[in-house]
Structure 1
Amino acid sequence: MTASLISFLVAIIILTLTPGFDTALVLRTSAANGWKKALVTAIGISTGCLVWGVAVGLGLGALLLASEIAYNVLKLAGAAYLLWLGVGLILKPRSEFNAQVRVGRQSAGYASFFTKGVMGNLLNPKVGVFYVSFLPQFIPAGASVALWSSGMALTHVIIGTLWSCVLIASTHYFAEKLRNPTVMKLMDRLTGCVFIGFAARLALSKR
């Protein structure tokens, strides 16, 4: 259990630090609308992740209990998905960070920014697919899938929110660094290696 938790924390920290849509949204909101609305946006993003984590945990738990075949199909599909993502990131890393994400107007209320963060994740099925393929690797044998998935999603939310706070506090510095093509390629390729490693681990794992 300890090894699973440590592995998960290392992986999720690396993945959280890798810039993507959420990073761009928080940075852009902070620069254009101030730290308070950027923080609300980050909380919305975290809420979306938590909803996905709980939903995936509940559905995945029922699926795993129902069928050995379904478990193996899901395992191999998840491994293939992670492998595809990893190879793609290594072969075609991004060289440009697009922080020009559309955000609400300066006069928009906090609810608007919270909704933008939530919907950015809830309307992205890749978040759910990623949780399905990623989280089961760290669940100890015999443990509650729903409970562990929800707990790991909550851990991801806490780490992600803390990282968003760092981004907000250092908006101009990080925005400039993340636009560096060398940094972008390095982060993408590092994440690709992580994905491939977990794809192999998932494919070779037993129920």
Structure 2
Amino acid sequence: MSIAALPPAVVRARRKVAVLVVVGAMVVGVAAWQAVARTARVGTGSSMWTPTTVLSGCASALGDAGEAFTVFAQGQTIHVVQSVLNTSRIPVVLTGGGGDALSVVFETELDSPGSVDDWTGTEDTLSRVAVPPGREAIAHVTWPADAFQGSSGVTYGIHVVPITVSALGVSRAVKVPLQGTVLVMPSVEAGTDAFRDQLASVCGP
């Protein structure tokens, strides 16, 4: 039985079709990979801690996170610990964001914090942390005492933590809501009448 050779034009056409199929599959694969990476999400974790007094019943209008959680006064370093939950189905890497004054670092262990009251900032921490699906990273968020300036009666509200989320090589900046608003009153000393009056004006009767 003889085997007839295909005409050159037919061979070239089949090669062109094969190349187009391979390229098309690569484009679909890259698109699917990008789509999966961009579905990576993180959210507010189960716990929030602070070394200062936790407020009760302060429905501050300064933030979008509901009631105020704590307040810092003149000369106090702002330090809040918020767990960050990986709500996606793939592992993510979290990197602290913010400006020159803001510091966001993560504990080396997931899900449960160390001693918040005794934290000095010299403990072993990570600037980046890998978080499997359904697990929580423990973020320490700090500003120096002089990061906030204001005239008498000025109150600042902090209600998000800037973090960069990376998954499958795709990174994007997000703002994770705190469980409660952090109030900062840089012009008054804690425990004074001025402090109590200003807090009452912010929280209401």
TM beyond 0.5: no
User: Computing the radius of gyration over CA atoms, which structure comes out larger, 1 or 2?
Assistant: 2
Greater relative CO (CA pairs within 8 A, separation 6+) = 1
Pairwise TM-score range, normalised by the shorter structure = under 0.3
More strand by share: 2
**With structure 1 as the length reference, what TM-score do the two structures score?**
0.26
